[in-house]
Structures are given as C-alpha cells and as structure tokens.
C-alpha cells in the first residue's frame, strides 16, 4: 500500500471531486450524467467512504477498477480492513454504521474488498494549473501539507492516520486556519447541508448518500458544477491561495456476493 499518492494534471478534461458515497453509486452516476461527465477525458476524485449505509457497496470494487476514478481510504474502508485482520472493532457500532453487508460476507468474499481498500492511499495530491489540491477523508493533523506528505511516505503513524480518517475537530471548533502548501484541501466525513469552506479546507459531504445531494467540485476552478438550486456559491476566504460514463459493470457473484436489484 502506498499511503500517499501524487497524480499529474489532467490535460484533456475535467477533474471533479465528490464527498462520501456510502454505497450510493447509482445515485452518483445519475449526477455525473447530469453534468456531462466523460470518462474518456474526465476524472473523478473521492474523499473516501465508498461503502456502508447504502444498498450498492458491492460496486466499490468495480469503481476502484476504473482508470478515471481515484479515492482516498476513509474510516469505513479502514473498519473493513481492521475487521478482516482481527483489529479491535466494535461490531455493534460497525453494523449500525452500515457495515452489516461486509460483516455477513464469508471471509473469502471479504478478501477482495480488503485487498482493494489496502491499495487506497490515506492522502493524495492532484496537480492543477493553479496549484496543488490535496484530498483526505477527514482532516490534516499538520498545518503544512509537506509535513503530512513526509509523514505518510516515511512512516505509518496510527495517530496521524486517525486524524486523517476520523477527526471532526476543524468543524467542531470552526478552525479557519489554512493548510500550507496547497491551493485547497478537500475532505468529507461529516455530512453538511451545503459545502463548507474553512481556511482552504473544503468539506464536500453534502449527504448525497442520505437525504441530501452529491456536490461535485471542479478542481481547476474550485467551483461547484452542480450547485444546489438558489444556493449561493460557497465563500472562499482570502486565506486560500485562489478565489472564488458508462455505469460500472455488475460485480461477479464469486467476488462480492449477490448484487441487489437496484444496483444493476
């Protein structure tokens, strides 16, 4: 597993980012269709939590195989890994958080998911014409992206990983400090009514997997390509460096079990 991944600029199309998916790949596909996403030229970046809660978690494998789809590892992928390899996981909590589909799979069918999740980086950075954009699931434990990059490349510190995948401190405290070395840091983890920007950290989970909607952010312009009706453009504070497909194939039963009818 590479805990940190660098991705070159996309000279041919758009780079879009989305918040937590949580097993609602069909709903996300509809939004991509609405904005004219072209998998031959465009790329989609995910802040993690591909699985649990929704009906189509099995499709995570198919999406992860697509060359245009890139995702960091969220806390729900981390839970699956810990459960499979005997880590300490509160099974009642895990099941209540939507992990029952994975818990109930035979071990042989759990393994392909865990192997795929292990290949997901904790953090990634994408080059754009206007500068680097970083992605994590929850938050950065450092105020400088270079420090996080070095930490993840050199060591696997569980305290660093915990902040990257679980922290809600920034939102809880309203911390508007920026992460140096980035034009923007994109995160999810906490569902919000609308995209929220604190410093140069963009919180993209607007509950597309629940009663909200998926918000797609263009990495080149830092503008939403599908803003909510009558919604104002999220304000980007001056502290930031810049102002304001075909559906994946059905999962093979031998790899991930039966696919629900509404996921085909």
Q: Which residues are catalytic?
A: 76
Residue 111 dihedral angles phi and psi, to the nearest 5°: -60, -45
Residue 90, judged by CB atoms within 10 A of its CB (0-12, 13-18, 19+), counts as exposed
Residue 81 to residue 113: CA distance in whole angstroms: 9
CA-CA distances (angstroms) from residue 56 to 35, 182, 196, 260?
22, 33, 27, 7
Residues facing residue 62 across a β-bridge: none
């Amino acid at each position: 597993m590479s805990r940190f991944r660098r991705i070159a600029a996309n000279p041919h199309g758009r780079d879009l980012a989305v918040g937590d998916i949580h097993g609602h790949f069909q709903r996300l596909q509809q939004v991509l269709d609405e904005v004219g996403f072209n998998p031959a030229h465009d790329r989609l970046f995910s802040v993690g939590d591909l699985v649990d809660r929704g009906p189509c978690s099995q499709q995570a494998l198919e999406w992860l195989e697509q060359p245009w789809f890139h995702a960091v590892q969220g806390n729900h992928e981390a839970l699956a890994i810990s459960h499979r390899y005997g880590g300490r996981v509160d099974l009642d909590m895990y099941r209540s958080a939507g992990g029952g589909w994975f818990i109930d799979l035979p071990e042989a069918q759990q393994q392909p998911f865990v192997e795929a999740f292990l290949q997901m980086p904790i953090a990634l950075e994408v080059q754009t014409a206007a500068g680097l954009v970083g992605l994590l699931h929850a938050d950065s434990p450092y105020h400088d992206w270079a420090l996080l990059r070095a930490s993840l490349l050199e060591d696997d510190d569980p305290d660093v990983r915990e902040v990257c995948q679980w922290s809600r401190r920034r939102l809880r405290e309203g911390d508007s400090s920026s992460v140096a070395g980035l034009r923007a840091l994109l995160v999810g983890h906490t569902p919000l009514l609308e995209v929220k920007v604190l410093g140069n950290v963009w919180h993209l989970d607007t509950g597309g997997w629940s009663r909200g909607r998926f918000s797609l952010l263009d990495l080149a312009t830092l503008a939403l390509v599908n803003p909510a009706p009558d919604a104002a453009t999220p304000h980007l504070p001056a502290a930031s460096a810049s102002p304001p497909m075909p559906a994946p194939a059905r999962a093979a039963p031998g790899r991930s079990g039966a696919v629900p009818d509404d996921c085909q």
